[in-house]
Amino acid sequence: MKTVRSKRTLGAVTPEDFVKLEQLRRMQAIALWLLVAMAVVFAVSFGLQGRFVWAGYVRAASEGGMVGAIADWFAVTALFRRPLGLPIPHTNLIAGKKDEIGEGLGSFIEENFLADEVVHERLSTISGARISGTWLQEPVNAKKVTGFAAQAGIAGLTVLSDADVQDLLESLIREHVIDPPWSSTIGRVTEQLLEAGHHHALIDIVADHAEQWLVTHPESFNALVSSRMPSWVPSIANRFIDDRAHKEVVKFVRAVRDNEQHPFREAANRFLHDLTHDLQSKPQLQEQVEQFKEEIFDSPRIRTIVESTWNSARASLTAMLEDEHSELRARMTRAVTDFGRRLLDDPTLQYKIDVWVMTAVEHLVHTYRHDLAQVVTETVYRWDASEAAEKIELQVGKDLQFIRINGTVVGSIAGVTIYTIATLIHTLVG
């Protein structure tokens, strides 16, 4: 449905448009009153030219001014509409030639603004990396970038469907964690740890904590030993056995902790080496590990783990992104500032980024130059013919009114000049 607009507003919608419309109307009024003034002067001088010589010159000047004003009014008006509504040929040019204007404008932009040499010359004179580095180093700008990234992150978290994310995480965990065989991987990793000697530190930690627990909780250990004794053993014997066993166990744990050559360490070392070999070579043990894995990570349990992990991660991440003073946003701001500083201090990085941007932009412009120009052409195609004429008149109409004013002045000069020359010739001949 065609939008109905008042011809008096020329489609003005923004405050800037109405300012231009007011300036256009003011210049139109000046040109019109100048024409009216010429007509009044002509009428008066025409009546006086038989009595006063100078009146003839004034009449000629005013007559030429009227002719010039009317001719230029016709020329200016013919660009945008039909003068006086008359179907005069070659008028209403912009509306009639709208599509041709769009094609010409698109072609002009393609050949003059998007040409390869123009784009290359322009890009080679600026360093986007240096400009970006200077801009990013300002704390206010770095916070703006962080804020924009935070809002984008929040929007992404809001738009994402929980079910879709959970399905994706579940499929990824199953594909990359659950489905691949564990036994061989565990065997290889354990073998590497053993070769690096990391199991000694683990034995030290276990022995140290075991000693601390035994010393701190002797009653728990004694109760464990007593529970294994027959009921007919006297209580005094139980206490003796408990104390003796506790002392021997503490002594054993301390010996394991303090003696790197303790037989237990050697036995543990042999056991771990045998276990790593069996995990990589014995099918029965491998099958047991895989069954144990499946029992732990059955499908409902994976879904619960994924759901809990995603909900916690999303809630925490959203809260940190929303809080302007959170540690995450502070780190993001520092990272942006540091990146800006590096852009300024590292010429090699500047050069790489500038070359990359130049290459990418030149490739995009070269590849899609016609498509970019076609956007202008198609936009003009979609305009209503009268709307296009109004848009252009609103933008340039004020300046075109000077043509009418200049036509009035030039016409006056031409009129009085022609009259003077003709009078002079007539006088000389006569």
Q: How many residues make up the chain in this entry? A: 430
Q: Which residue has the higher pLDDT, 307 or 274?
A: 274
Instruction: Render pLDDT for 172-226 as a digit per residue (tens, 0 to 9).
Output: 777 777 778 878 888 888 888 888 877 788 888 888 888 888 888 878 777 766 6
Question: Do both 290 and 193 map to the same domain?
Answer: yes
Q: How far apart are CA 61 and CA 39, in angstroms?
A: 11
DSSP assignment of 41-98, as one string? HHHHHHHHTTT-HHHHHHHHHHHHHHHHHHHHHHHHHHHHS-GGG---TT-SHHHHTH
Looking at residue 197, its pLDDT comes to: 79
Looking at residue 226, its pLDDT comes to: 67
Q: Of the candidates 11, 16, 33, which has an alpha carbon nearest to the alpha carbon of residue 401? A: 33
> Lowest-confidence range among 104-113, 314-323, 380-389?
380-389
E-strand ranges in 266-364 read none
Nearby residues of 329 by Cβ (< 8 Å), 6 or more positions away? 146, 150, 320, 321, 323
Looking at residue 255, its pLDDT comes to: 87
Number of domains observed in the structure of the chain: 2
- Is the pTM value of this prediction over 0.85? no
Q: Is residue 46 part of a domain?
A: yes
Instruction: Render pLDDT for 43-70 as a digit per residue (tens, 0 to 9).
Output: 999 988 888 888 989 999 999 999 999 9
Q: Of the candidates 59, 141, 186, which has an alpha carbon nearest to the alpha carbon of residue 339? A: 141
Type and span of the H or E element at 361? helix 347-382
User: Mean pLDDT over residues 262-273, rounded?
Assistant: 85
Structure tokens at 127: 């360093």
Chain-wide mean pLDDT for the chain?
Answer: 82
Looking at residue 3, its pLDDT comes to: 43
E-strand ranges in 21-61 read none
| Rounded CA Rg of the chain | 46
Domain hosting residue 263, numbered range:
177-297
How is the chain split among helix, strand and coil, in percent rounded to 5?
Answer: 85, 0, 15
Q: How many helices (H) and strands (E) does the chain have?
A: 18, 0
E-strand ranges in 76-119 read none
Domain boundary among 276, 297, 318: 297
Q: How far apart are CA 5 and CA 21, in angstroms?
A: 14
- Cα distances from 377 to residues 81, 372, 390, in angstroms, run 22, 9, 18
Looking at residue 12, its pLDDT comes to: 76
What confidence tier does 240 reach under pLDDT thresholds 50, 70, 90?
Answer: low
Dihedral over alpha carbons 175, 179, 184, 189 (to 10 degrees):
40
Question: Do both 291 and 395 map to the same domain?
Answer: no
What confidence tier does 397 reach under pLDDT thresholds 50, 70, 90?
Answer: confident
Residue 164 in this model has a pLDDT that exceeds 80: no
Q: Is residue 285 part of a domain?
A: yes
Q: Of the candidates 179, 160, 157, which has an alpha carbon nearest to the alpha carbon of residue 168? A: 160
Looking at residue 233, its pLDDT comes to: 55
Domain boundary among 297, 332, 355: 297
DSSP character for 373? H
Q: How far apart are CA 164 and CA 19, in angstroms?
A: 52
Looking at residue 261, its pLDDT comes to: 84
Looking at residue 5, its pLDDT comes to: 44
Contact at 8 Å (CB) between 269 and 194? Answer: yes
What confidence tier does 6 reach under pLDDT thresholds 50, 70, 90?
Answer: very low
Q: Of the candidates 160, 192, 376, which has an alpha carbon nearest to the alpha carbon of residue 273? A: 192
- Cα distances from 271 to residues 191, 249, 267, in angstroms, run 12, 21, 6
Looking at residue 1, its pLDDT comes to: 37
Residue 306 in this model has a pLDDT that exceeds 80: no
Nearby residues of 358 by Cβ (< 8 Å), 6 or more positions away? 120, 123, 124
Type and span of the H or E element at 99? helix 98-112
Q: Which residue has the higher pLDDT, 51 or 305?
A: 51
What confidence tier does 38 reach under pLDDT thresholds 50, 70, 90?
Answer: very high
Domain boundary among 246, 264, 297: 297
Dihedral over alpha carbons 259, 262, 264, 270 (to 10 degrees):
120
- Percent of the chain exceeding pLDDT 70 equals 92
Q: How far apart are CA 302 and CA 379, in angstroms?
A: 53
Q: Is residue 369 part of a domain?
A: no
